[in-house]
Structure 1
Amino acid sequence: MNASRVPPPGELVATTLLEYLQHDNRPTFIIDLADANNINKDLAFSFCNKAFSSCRTYVALTTIHAAKESDNLLNAFHSWIVQRGDELYGDRHFQDVSWSATTLQKRWRIISGTPIVASSLNACSIDHHISDSASLYNYRKATKETLPLVPMAPSPYQRLVDEFDWGSSTLGPIVSWPKALKEIAKSVICNSKPVGVFWGPERIVIYNAPYAELIPSFHPQQFGRSMKTDFPYWDTYELVCQEVETTMKTVSYAAQPGPLMERNGSLHETYFSYDYIPLFDDGGKVQGIYYQVTEVTGEVLSRSRMTSLLRLSSVASRATDQKTLWKNVLHVLEDGKEDTPMISIHTVGEQMASISSQVHGDQAATTGEWLCQGSVGWPESNLATSNVLNFTSVRGYAAFVQKSLESLEPVVLRSSDGGLVAALLKGCQYKGVACTSLVICPLQLSSGIAVGSLGIVLNPVRPYDDDYKHFVRVMARQIEDALKLAVFLEAQEELLKQTILQAQVEQHSLSRQLERSVQKARESDLRFFNFAKQAPVGIYVLNPDGSIQFANDAWLKLIGISKEAVENNSLKPWLATVHPDDLQNVHQQWQSLKEGISSALHEWRVLRRSESNNSQPDVAYLRSAAYAEVNGDGSLKAVTGITIDYSIEVAHLRETNAKMEAALEAKRAQENFMDMVSHEMRNPLHAIIQCAEEAEDLLNQLQKAHKAASPPSIITQKCSAAIDTILYCGGHQKQLIDDVLTMSKLDSNLLTICPVPACPGSLIRQVLKMFESSMRASGIESFVQLENSHLLKDTQRTVSIDPGRTLQILINLVGNAVKFLADREKKELHISLAASVTQSKLPGIKYAPSSPESNNSVGTFPEFPKEEEVYVHFSVKDTGPGLSEEQMDALFTRFRQSSPRTHAQYGGSGLGLFISRQLTELHGGHIGVASKLDQGSTFSFSLKGRKLAPAASNSNSNNLIASQTLQMSNSETKAPPETQPERPEVSLVGHGVLIVEDNIINQQLLARQLRKHGMEVTCANHGEEALSILKSSTWWNGTSDDDSHESRRQYSIILCDLEMPVMDGKTCVRHIREWQKSGLLHSHIPVFAVTGNARAFLQNALEWGFNDVVTKPFGMKTLLPLMQSYIETDRTEIHEGNDV
C-alpha cells in the first residue's frame, strides 16, 4: 500500500526549529554567514544550545582570533565553518567531536556535533573530502583511525604516520591507546618545534616532522620503534630516562654535542639543548617521557669563537716582545682547536722595524727567508711547519704564502684543488674526519707591508661560512695589532738602551762643558766688572734695603755722592741729592721695584754742588732703567740698572720748543695778517663793485629814458665800457684774492670739505651763468650733457658733496676754457656730467699723481659706509689751441702755467689748476687732462660723494648751496631761461632789513642799493647798537621804553658784519638766539653773516647762530635772490603756524 503524505497537525507546525535544537543532546550552534565579523574575528553565535555551551569547543571558538595564528587545527576548523556555499562536503573532527553542517536560506549555517567514542570508531569510517577552498588542506580518505585525528597537509611524514602499522608495535592499534597517549601524540605531531615522546618501558618513540629533520640518518627507521632495541647509542639516553623516572622531575641538558649530521652534502657537527619532561598516569607513575630538542650549534660556535678572540686579545696585549707573543698566540689557538685544529706562523727573519722602513706602498717583505715561529696540531714533517720558508725559489708552502701576500687577503686552499694542496692536508684529521681546507692569512705590520703569515687548517665538520670567515679575519687583525705593539715595544726598548748609552756619553761631555762654562762665566764676570767700572754711563746694583752693593764711578758722579757713602754701607744715600719736587716720585718708583716690578725708564732731577763753588746747586736731569731681581718666594734680591745724564737733551728740547713757539707765533701772525688783508681788501673792493653796479643801473635808467629821443651818445657808450672794465677788474681782483687765500688755507691745512645735499647739474648751470656775458661777447657756444639715472637727477639733490668747492673747480676749468677760446676760429665748450658707484678713470685721460700736500692734509672727505659711496664725474672739453706732452706735464703744479707765453697772452696766477687738483684730492677724487696741439683739451675730474634718496627740494638746503656758491661768484649775469629753475618771485618792497656794518661807505652803499629795490633799511654801526634797535622792533616780546606797537619797526632779515668794534657779529647773533630761546623774541629771525674774511667757515657760522654767510665782495643780483628765499621760507612758516 502506498503511503500518503499526511499534513502535520497544527501544534506541530507551530513548533519551531530552535525549540528542537534547544532540547537536542548534541552540541549545536548557528552563525550568520552575512556577518563579516565571523570571518575576521571571534565567532558571534546567532544561537547555541545547552549542550554546546558546556562543550570546550565553545570556549575555543569564542577566542579564536587570539589563538588561530598559533593553532593550525583551530585555524582549519574555523575555515571549514565559515566556508561559502549551500552545502559543505564531509564532516570535520575537532576535539573528539565529529561536526556536520547544514545551510538554510543561503545565510544560516547550522553546525551540529556527535561525540566520538572508542566503540564507535571501529564501526564507522570518517571520510575526508577535497575542498574547493584554498584555505583547506587536501586530505585522503581512511578506513582506520590515524594520527592526528585532525586534517594535516600531505607530506612524506604524514604518509608515514597514516600508513604506519601500529598494530605490529607494542603500542597496538590507535583505538587501543589510552587517551593520554592520544593527546600527547597529537600534541607532538602538531608542534612546530622538534619534540617527541618515549612511551612505556620499551621507550617507543613518536616524534614530529621538525625532529625528523634533525635525525635524517635515523629517520624513518626509528619512528614508532623501541629505542632500547633499535637505537645503537641508547645507553646514554636510557640513563637520562631513568633519572627522570627516579626524580620525577624535568631533566635538562644545555649545548650538548650532537651527532655528525649530513647537511648540504657534507657532515656537520651539531649541538643541542634537551629537556626531558615526565608524563604521569592517573596513579602518579611516569608512563612516558616528553622531550623537546633545540639546536644551538650557531650559539655554541659563536660563544666559542668569542671566547677565543677575548683570550687572544688579552694575552696578546700583554706580550712585550715577539717571542712571548707567538707563544701566547699558539697557546690560545691550541685551546680553541674546534675552529683552528692546525696552526702555523711564519714571519720575516730580520728586525721588523727595519723591514717596515725599507719597504713601501703595497710591497711585502718576501725577499730572503722567513722563519717558523711555531705550529700546533700538524702531522710531523708537514711542509706547513718547515722552519724556513725560502722566497728566492718559490715552491711548496711558500708559493701559497706568496699568493696571499700579493693579494693581502686570506687565501683558501682546498684538497679538491689537487696536487700540492692535497699533499699539505694529507694526514690532517679532526674527530676522525679528514681536513679538506686550509686558509692562509697575511700579517701586516703597517698598511700594505706584510711581514708574516698565519696558516689555519679549517674544521672539516664546520661550514666555512660568513661567521667562520669573519672569525678568521678578526683573529688575524688581533694578531697584527699585537704584533705592531710588540715590535713597537721592542723598538722602544732598543731606543731606550741607545738613549741611555747616548745620555752617558752626553753626560760626560756636559760635565766637561760645564767646567768650561764655569770658567768662561768667571772670565765673563770679570770682563763685565771691568767694563762696568770703566763704562761712561752709570751702572749700579742696590740691595733690598737701598744700600749700594756696586756702583761705578760714573754713577756716583751722576748721583752726586762720594765713595765713602758706599764704603760705609749707608741706607739709600742716593736719596740725599734728589730734587725735592721729584722725591715722592722716586719713592714710588723704589717701592715698585721692591714689589718686583721692573721699570722701563724713570726720569728725575738731582741737585749737584760744585766742590769749589758754594753757590746755588746745579740741576741735572737723569734717566734710569732698572731691573728687579727676585727670589723664589717673590721677595726682592737686588736691583740692577743703568743711569745716563740727559741734561743736554733737555736743553736742546727747550731751545727747540722755543723756536717752535716762535714759528707758530709767526704763523699765527701771518694768518692774522692774511685775515686782516683779506678783510681790508674786500671792503674797498666791495664798495667799488657796489658803486659800479649802481652806476650801471643809473646808466641803464638814463638810456631807457632817452632811448626814444636819440641813440646812445659816445659818452654813454664810453661810460658803459668803463663800468664793464671796473666790474671785470673787480672780479679779477677778487679771484686773485680767493686764490691766494685758498693757497694759504692749503698750506696751513685749514681747508676743509663740507658735504651737503646738492644737485650737480645745477652747479654746471650756475657756472655757465657766471660766464654768460663773456661767452656771449666772444661768441662761444656751450653744450651740456647731463646723465639722468638713479644716481643723478637733473633737478634733484641725489648726492652729498661740497657744492662750493665743486663750483670753484668748475669756475677755474671753465674760465680757462673761455680765455683760450677767445681767439679760436671754432669756439665750442662741452660740459658733461655722469656718476658711478666705483672710482673709474676715463680712457685717454692723463691723471695727475696724488700730491703730498693732500696726503698730509687734515681736511679730507668724511668717511661713510662703502655701499653709500658714489663718484660724480665732470668733464670740460674745449676746441682751444690744445697742449703738448711737455705742457701737460707742467700743469697742476704751484705757480706753473703750460708755457711762459701763456701769462703774457692770457694772464692768470698759475694757481687755478693747482688749487683744483688739491680740492679734488681733498674731496676723495682725482683730476686729469687729455689734449693734443690744435685739437683742443679735455679736463676731467671726479669727486667722491654719498648717495641720497631723491627727494623734493628743501629751502634750507637750497639756501646753504646758494650761500656757498655766492662766495665763488665773480660775475653777475642773468641765467638763460632754459637753465634757471622756475619759482615764484617774492617782492622785497616794504620788507625791513637791518644792516649792521662798521664801514660807513659799505654801509651807505648797501643801504642805498636795497632802498632802490623798495626795502626799508635801518643801519647799526656795531652789534650792541643792533641789539638796541631790535628791542624796539616788532620782534621784541619783552619790556621796552616805547611800548606803542605802531612806533616799532618791522624787520624781515638782518645783514650783520663779523668784525666790528664794541660788539662783533658773533657775539651779537648769540644774544639774538638766546633771546629767541628765552621767549624775548616772537619767533626766529634770519641773520646773514657779511664778512670780508674768507676764513670764516660756513659750518662755524651756522654753529654760532647765523642762517647763512655772504662773503665780500658780492653783487646785488646774487644777494637779493638769497634774501628772497629766506623771506619766502619765513613767510611760509608763519602762515603754517597761523593755520595750526
Structure 2
Amino acid sequence: MNASRVPPPGELVATTLLEYLQHDNRPTFIIDLADANNINKDLAFSFCNKAFSSCRTYVALTTIHAAKESDNLLNAFHSWIVQRGDELYGDRHFQDVSWSATTLQKRWRIISGTPIVASSLNACSIDHHISDSASLYNYRKATKETLPLVPMAPSPYQRLVDEFDWGSSTLGPIVSWPKALKEIAKSVICNSKPVGVFWGPERIVIYNAPYAELIPTFHPQQFGRSMKTDFPYWDTYELVCQEVETTMKTVSYAAQPGPLMERNGSLHETYFSYDYIPLFDDGGKVQGIYYQVTEVTGEVLSRSRMTSLLRLSSVASRATDQKTLWKNVLHVLEDGKEDTPMISIHTVGEQMASISSQVHGDQAATTGEWLCQGSVGWPESNLATSNVLNFTSVRGYAAFVQKSLESLEPVVLRSSDGGLVAALLKGCQYKGVACTSLVICPLQLSSGIAVGSLGIVLNPVRPYDDDYKHFVRVMARQIEDALKLAVFLEAQEELLKQTILQAQVEQHSLSRQLERSIQKARESDLRFFNFAKQAPVGIYVLNPDGSIQFANDAWLKLIGISKEAVENNSLKPWLATVHPDDLQNVHQQWQSLKEGISSALHEWRVLRRSESNNSQPDVAYLRSAAYAEVNGDGSLKAVTGITIDYSIEVAHLRETNAKMEAALEAKRAQENFMDMVSHEMRNPLHAIIQCAEEAEDLLNQLQKAHKAASAPSIITQKCSAAIDTILYCGGHQKQLIDDVLTMSKLDSNLLTICPVPACPGSLIRQVLKMFESSMRASGIESFVQLENSHLLMDTQKTVSIDPGRTLQILINLVGNAVKFLADREKKELHISLAASVTQSKLPGIKYAPSSPESNNSVGTFPEFPKEEEVYVHFSVKDTGPGLSEEQMDALFTRFRQSSPRTHAQYGGSGLGLFISRQLTELHGGHIGVASKLDHGSTFSFSLKGRKLAPVATDPNLNNLTPSQTLQMSNSETKAPPETQPERPEVSLVGHGVLIVEDNIINQQLLARQLRKHGMEVTCANHGEEALSILKSSTWWNGTSDDHSHESRRQYSIILCDLEMPVMDGKTCVRHIREWQKAGLLHTHIPVFAVTGNARAFLQNALEWGFNDVVTKPFGMKTLLPLMQSYIETDRTEIHEGNDV
C-alpha cells in the first residue's frame, strides 16, 4: 500500500488547530500512532500543510516502500517518526531540515521542520560572487596591509573588514596568519548563510555579513575581538568550545534561547540553532571552531503556540461543566506563559443557559455583574483580576470589556493609549521587560450572545504580528467552542433532571389513564359484542385452525350452517356449503389469510337448502372482507370479517347485461341495415348515372357530327334535357343517401378527423369549380379574397387540416348560397380566407353553441403543441334574401331549416348546416352566421390546424383526391379538379384495366365506358377469378404453363368491388399483396376499392392493401383523372415488370 493522504478523523477535525497549522510556513504533518500501517512504512498522513506537500521529504516518505534497504538515513528518520512514547527527545536533521516532534493524547504525532543549509568548509568560488569588476569596491590603503579577501561590492561590512586593525589583535597582521586561517576567513566572508569562526584560545571571532544582521545589538563590537576576555556572557559558549576541543567532533544545539535583540526599535527574544565544527591543524589539534547559525525564532514560537493549542483543545474538550473548563484552561495557559504571560477570564456566571434562552442575536449579556473565573500571572490587586465586573456603571476594566463586546472582535489596548491602560499594566513584566499591550477577546455562545471575555497581556519581547494575532484568535475560538459545549452539557444535564421529574409525574398520570382506558376497552368490547349479535350483516371471528370463535346469527344464516357446528367447535364447518366450483378459490383465500395477508374483498357462492332437505338448494352470492390479525412472530392469531349477500345485485346485473346486449344487437342490425341499403341503393344509382353519362357522351358526339349540317333537332334537345334531369335526380338522391349516412356516423361516433398537409386556397377553387356551371347558368358573380402571409400561401401547403371535411363544409355553404341567389336581382358570392395563431371570433357573427354530439364523439381533433396551433377562418357571404333573428336561431339543428317556406321553395333535408356544425366542432373550431332580411347572409367558420413549413402543391393532383371528395361530399356528385397549369396528361389509350365486379350491369357499363377511352378491359365476377386472371398476366412472376409470355395480358390498374360472392375484395387484395411480398409479382399493382358502402374509410382500405377508394355512384370525369395519377406514378414500375 502506498503512503497516501486520508481524510482527517472526526476527533482531529473537531479542533481548530488544523486551520492554524495550515497557515504555518514550516513543513508540518500529523500521523496516527494507533494506525498499524504507519509502523510498516505504509504512512498515511492524517494531515499535512502546504509547506510539507511542496518539500522533498514528502516525496521521500510517500515512496518509502520503494526505497532501498540500504537507505539508512531514510529508514532511521522513519523509525524516529513512529517511535512510541509521549515525547521524542532531541531533533532530527533530514534533507536540510531540522525536524521536531510533539505527541498529543498519546496518539497524534505532530512533526514540524525548520529548513537549514549546511555550509561548505571549502573555499568559495570567487567568480560566483563577482558581478561587475568595474563596480567593485577596490580602495585599499596602500600603507596598511588588509585581508586579501575576494572583491565585494561596497557595504558597511566590507568597510569594517577592510579598515579593521588586525595588527592590534592577538592574531597579528594578516601576513602573519597561517594559510588555514586565511582560507577559513575567506570561506566565512563568502558564505551566504550566517557563519563565523572562533580562532585560537582567545576565541577571536570572525563572522560574515549575514551573521552580522542576526546580532545588530553586538555588531560591530564583537568583530575581530576575543569573545573569551571581552564579553562576560561568554561562559556558556566557552563550555561548548571546550566540548568541541575535547571530543574533536561537531556539537549541535537546536532552538537555543538567544540574547534579547533590538529590532525595529524594541527588544525581541531570539532562538538559534548552532553547529560547532572543529578546525584541525596539520598535527591534528583543534586550532579553531567553525560555527554556523540558523535563527529559528519563528519556528520555536510556532511550535510553542501549536503545543499550547493542542493541549488547550485536549483539556477543553473533556470538560463537562464551566468550573472544570476554566480550571483546565487556566492550567494550560499558565504553562504557555511565553505567549500569555497574564490571563484573566470573566463570564456572566452560572445562569448562562437561561441568559442564552432570553437574549438573541448579536447582543451581549452586559446587564448586572460578571464574575471572574480565574486569572494567572497578574500582580496582586489588579483591576483586571477583580472578582466582579459591574456593567451598571461601566468603569475601569469593565469599560474595555464593554468595548470588545460591542464590536465582537478582539480589542488591543496599549499603555500609550492612556493612563487607565498603563494602570492596568503596572507591574506586569516578562523577563524583566515591562508589558505594554493587552488584548481582550469576547466569548460568544452558539446563538451569538457574548457571555464572557478573555483578557491576555501580550509578551513584550515578541512582536504582535499576524502569527501572534492568529494564535490569539484561534485560542479564543477554542475556549469559546469549549464554553459552548460546557453550557450545552450543563443545559442537557438540567434538562435530563427536569425530564426525569416530569416522567415520574407523567408515569403516575399514565397509570391512572391506563386504568380508565382498560375500563373503556371493556365497555367498548361489550358494545361491539352486542352490536355484532344484532347486526343485519354477517360478522365472524375464526381461529387459525378454521374453527369459529364467534359468529352472529346473520352470518350463520348466510353461510347456511347451524349453531351446533359452532358449539361443537368443528374445523372449518363453513366449507360444507361452498359451491363446488368456488371451493378451490375459497381454499386459496383462506391460505392467504393464514399467511397474514388481509383480504380487501372476496366473493364466492354457497348452496343453501331450505328446511325440506328434498328441495333443490338455492345458490347465494356472498361478498366478504376479512382482516388477518397476526402475532408478534408473524403467525396467525385470528381472522375477523363481515359478509353480505349480493344475490340481488347479481340478478340485476344479469338483467342489465341482457338489455345492453339486446340494444347493441339492435344497433348492429341497424348499422348493417344502413350499409345494405346504402350498397343496394348506390349500385342501381351508379348504373343510372353511368348510363346517363354514356347517353350524354353519345348525344354530344351526335351533335358534333351534325353540327355543320343543321341545328340540333327538337328530339336531340329533349334527349339532352332528359339526360340532365336524370343526372340531377341521381345527384340529389346521392346527396340524400350521403346525409343519412353521415347522420348515422354521427350517431355511432364513427365520424373522424384526419389532418393532412393542405392548401386551403386550393379547396376554395375546387368548390367554385364544382358549382361553375350552376353559377354561370344563374348569372352569379364570385369574388375570392385570400390572405397571403407566413401562415397561408397560395398554392402552398402551410397547414395540416382535414381537406375532405373542410370541402364538405364549403360545399354545403356555397351550395346553399348558389341555391338562394338564383332568384335574386343582385347575385354576388364573396368567399374570404384568413388565418391566425389564436382562436378569434368575428364581430357581428352569431356563433352556434357547442353541441352535445360533438362533445361525446370519439373523432375529436388530435392534440399537438400549443405553439404549433393555427386557426384557418373561412367566410361565405352572399346577397341572398337574408334571415331574421328567429330564423337564425333555427339554423344548425338536426332536420331544421330557417322556415317551412325554405323547404317548399328550395328543397333540402335540413341536415347540411347541422352536419357542417358537427364537422367544424370536431375539427376544433366553431361556425356562425350574420344575416339581415333582404341584405344577404354571411356564414363564417374556423378550423384548428397545425402550422407546417411551406410545401408546394402537386401541380397534377388536388389537395383531395376525387375519391375522397366523393366520399365526404354531401351536396354534389361530380367534383371535377380545379384548373391546373398546362401539363401533358397521361394517355389511357392502350392501358389494361381489370374490373372485378359481381353486378353484371355495373360491370358492363364501366367496361364500356373505359373502352371508349381506349383502355383494354378484362372483367372478373369475383376475387378468385381475378387472381386466376392475374396469374396469366404480365404481372405474374411465378411458374405458369398456360400462356406464353407474348400472349399474356398487361394491366395498369385493378378496379375491385368489396362485397362479392366466392371471394370478396378484401381477401383478393390481401392475396395480391402477399404475392407481391413473396416476389411472385414483378412490382406494385395499383388497386382501387370500388364500393357502394359509404362506411368504407380510406384509412381502412389502405390498411387492407388498396391504393384508394372510389364510392358509387361516380362519373368518368371523376374516375379517369384518378386513374391517370396512379398510372403516371407506376408507369416506370410497370415497364420494368414487363421487361423481366
TM class by smaller structure: 0.7 to 0.9
Aligned partners of 2:3 and 2:42 also within 8 Å? no
The more displaced of 147-156 and 653-662 is: 147-156
Q: RMSD between aligned alpha carbons?
A: 18.2
* TM-score under structure 1 length normalisation: 0.81
Question: Displacement of 1:977 after TM fit?
Answer: 10
Distance between the aligned counterparts of 2:598 and 2:701, measured in 1?
89
Distance between the aligned counterparts of 1:8 and 1:560, measured in 2?
76
Distance between the aligned counterparts of 2:225 and 2:176, measured in 1?
17
Which digits, 9 at most, give the CA deviation of each residue in 1:696-752, with x for residues without a partner?
A: 456555655666666567776666555544433432332222111111111112223
Distance between the aligned counterparts of 1:861 and 1:157, measured in 2?
102
Aligned partners of 1:139 and 1:153 also within 8 Å? no
The 3 A distance-change label for structure 1 pair 774 and 309 is: same
Question: Displacement of 1:1085 after TM fit?
Answer: 6.0
Which digits, 9 at most, give the CA deviation of each residue in 1:381-408, with x for residues without a partner?
A: 2221222222222221122122222222
Question: Displacement of 1:436 after TM fit?
Answer: 1.4
Distance between the aligned counterparts of 1:5 and 1:98, measured in 2?
23
Distance between the aligned counterparts of 1:36 and 1:561, measured in 2?
78
Distance between the aligned counterparts of 2:233 and 2:42, measured in 1?
49
The more displaced of 86-95 and 58-67 is: 86-95
Distance between the aligned counterparts of 1:276 and 1:70, measured in 2?
29
Distance between the aligned counterparts of 1:201 and 1:993, measured in 2?
138
Which digits, 9 at most, give the CA deviation of each residue in 1:1052-1095, with x for residues without a partner?
A: 65555444556554455556667777888887665544333212
The 3 A distance-change label for structure 1 pair 54 and 147 is: farther
Distance between the aligned counterparts of 1:611 and 1:825, measured in 2?
93
The more displaced of 531-540 and 288-297 is: 288-297
* Residue 706 (1) aligns with residue 715 (2): no
Distance between the aligned counterparts of 2:16 and 2:387, measured in 1?
102
Which digits, 9 at most, give the CA deviation of each residue in 1:781-814, with x for residues without a partner?
A: 2233456677766556666654332321221122
Distance between the aligned counterparts of 2:1089 and 2:599, measured in 1?
57
Which digits, 9 at most, give the CA deviation of each residue in 1:454-486, with x for residues without a partner?
A: 111111222212211111111111111111111
Distance between the aligned counterparts of 2:440 and 2:764, measured in 1?
96
Which digits, 9 at most, give the CA deviation of each residue in 1:238-262, with x for residues without a partner?
A: 3333333333333333222222222
The 3 A distance-change label for structure 1 pair 677 and 182 is: closer
Matches within 5 A, 1:554-633: 554-612=554-612, 614-633=614-633
Question: Displacement of 1:912 after TM fit?
Answer: 1.8
Which digits, 9 at most, give the CA deviation of each residue in 1:264-318, with x for residues without a partner?
A: 2222222223333333333333333333333222222111111111111111111
The 3 A distance-change label for structure 1 pair 420 and 850 is: same
The 3 A distance-change label for structure 1 pair 99 and 415 is: closer
The more displaced of 79-88 and 317-326 is: 79-88
* TM-score under structure 2 length normalisation: 0.81
The more displaced of 685-694 and 54-63 is: 54-63
The more displaced of 693-702 and 403-412 is: 693-702
The 3 A distance-change label for structure 1 pair 765 and 142 is: same
Question: Displacement of 1:655 after TM fit?
Answer: 0.4
Aligned partners of 2:5 and 2:46 also within 8 Å? no
The more displaced of 795-804 and 422-431 is: 795-804
Distance between the aligned counterparts of 1:217 and 1:982, measured in 2?
117
The more displaced of 1130-1139 and 708-717 is: 708-717
The DSSP-based 3-state class of the residue aligned with 2:1060 is coil
Distance between the aligned counterparts of 1:854 and 1:509, measured in 2?
69
The 3 A distance-change label for structure 1 pair 624 and 181 is: same
Aligned partners of 1:31 and 1:108 also within 8 Å? yes
The 3 A distance-change label for structure 1 pair 296 and 810 is: same
The 3 A distance-change label for structure 1 pair 357 and 830 is: farther
Distance between the aligned counterparts of 1:993 and 1:41, measured in 2?
97
Partner of 2:221: 221
Aligned partners of 1:972 and 1:1115 also within 8 Å? no
Partner of 2:759: 759
Question: Displacement of 1:1134 after TM fit?
Answer: 2.7
Partner of 1:282: 282
Identity %: 99
The DSSP-based 3-state class of the residue aligned with 1:272 is strand
Distance between the aligned counterparts of 1:102 and 1:569, measured in 2?
83
Partner of 1:927: 927
The 3 A distance-change label for structure 1 pair 1023 and 254 is: closer
Matches within 5 A, 1:144-159: 144-159=144-159
The 3 A distance-change label for structure 1 pair 1004 and 324 is: same
The 3 A distance-change label for structure 1 pair 897 and 162 is: same
Aligned partners of 1:352 and 1:487 also within 8 Å? yes
The 3 A distance-change label for structure 1 pair 25 and 393 is: closer
The more displaced of 239-248 and 617-626 is: 239-248
Aligned partners of 1:689 and 1:727 also within 8 Å? yes
Aligned partners of 1:90 and 1:129 also within 8 Å? no
Aligned partners of 1:765 and 1:980 also within 8 Å? no
Question: Displacement of 1:1123 after TM fit?
Answer: 4.2
Distance between the aligned counterparts of 1:181 and 1:8, measured in 2?
55
Aligned partners of 1:305 and 1:339 also within 8 Å? yes
Partner of 2:451: 451
Distance between the aligned counterparts of 2:394 and 2:109, measured in 1?
85
The 3 A distance-change label for structure 1 pair 32 and 567 is: closer
Aligned partners of 2:762 and 2:958 also within 8 Å? no
Question: Displacement of 1:1027 after TM fit?
Answer: 6.8
Distance between the aligned counterparts of 2:896 and 2:637, measured in 1?
71
Partner of 1:867: 867
Question: Displacement of 1:779 after TM fit?
Answer: 1.9
The DSSP-based 3-state class of the residue aligned with 2:325 is helix
Question: Displacement of 1:969 after TM fit?
Answer: 5.6
Question: Displacement of 1:661 after TM fit?
Answer: 0.9
Distance between the aligned counterparts of 1:644 and 1:81, measured in 2?
85
Distance between the aligned counterparts of 1:479 and 1:11, measured in 2?
17
Distance between the aligned counterparts of 1:54 and 1:693, measured in 2?
105
The 3 A distance-change label for structure 1 pair 262 and 932 is: farther
The 3 A distance-change label for structure 1 pair 117 and 164 is: farther
Question: Displacement of 1:663 after TM fit?
Answer: 0.6
Partner of 1:90: 90
Question: Displacement of 1:658 after TM fit?
Answer: 0.7
Question: Displacement of 1:610 after TM fit?
Answer: 0.8
The 3 A distance-change label for structure 1 pair 100 and 843 is: closer
Aligned partners of 1:770 and 1:969 also within 8 Å? no
Question: Displacement of 1:164 after TM fit?
Answer: 3.5
Partner of 1:646: 646
Bigger Rg, structure 1 or 2: 1
Kindly tell me the number of residue pairs found equivalent between the two proteins: 1140
Which digits, 9 at most, give the CA deviation of each residue in 1:791-839, with x for residues without a partner?
A: 7665566666543323212211221222333344443333345567776
The more displaced of 742-751 and 773-782 is: 773-782
Which digits, 9 at most, give the CA deviation of each residue in 1:148-174, with x for residues without a partner?
A: 444344444444444444333333333
The more displaced of 638-647 and 728-737 is: 728-737
Question: Displacement of 1:589 after TM fit?
Answer: 2.0
The DSSP-based 3-state class of the residue aligned with 1:589 is helix
Question: Displacement of 1:377 after TM fit?
Answer: 1.7
The 3 A distance-change label for structure 1 pair 80 and 569 is: closer
Aligned partners of 1:319 and 1:325 also within 8 Å? yes
The 3 A distance-change label for structure 1 pair 133 and 777 is: same
The 3 A distance-change label for structure 1 pair 555 and 177 is: same
In the alignment, structure 2 segments of 5+ residues that lack a partner are none
Distance between the aligned counterparts of 2:312 and 2:162, measured in 1?
55
Question: Displacement of 1:644 after TM fit?
Answer: 1.4
The 3 A distance-change label for structure 1 pair 386 and 145 is: same
Matches within 5 A, 1:130-279: 133-279=133-279
The 3 A distance-change label for structure 1 pair 718 and 122 is: closer
The more displaced of 990-999 and 298-307 is: 990-999
Which digits, 9 at most, give the CA deviation of each residue in 1:477-521, with x for residues without a partner?
A: 111111111111111111111111111111111111111111111
Question: Displacement of 1:573 after TM fit?
Answer: 1.5
Question: Displacement of 1:176 after TM fit?
Answer: 2.8
Partner of 1:878: 878
Question: Displacement of 1:74 after TM fit?
Answer: 35
The 3 A distance-change label for structure 1 pair 1132 and 973 is: farther
The more displaced of 589-598 and 725-734 is: 725-734
Which digits, 9 at most, give the CA deviation of each residue in 1:523-560, with x for residues without a partner?
A: 22222222222222222222222222222211111111
Distance between the aligned counterparts of 1:220 and 1:479, measured in 2?
47
Aligned partners of 1:538 and 1:553 also within 8 Å? yes
Partner of 2:664: 664
Question: Displacement of 1:651 after TM fit?
Answer: 0.5
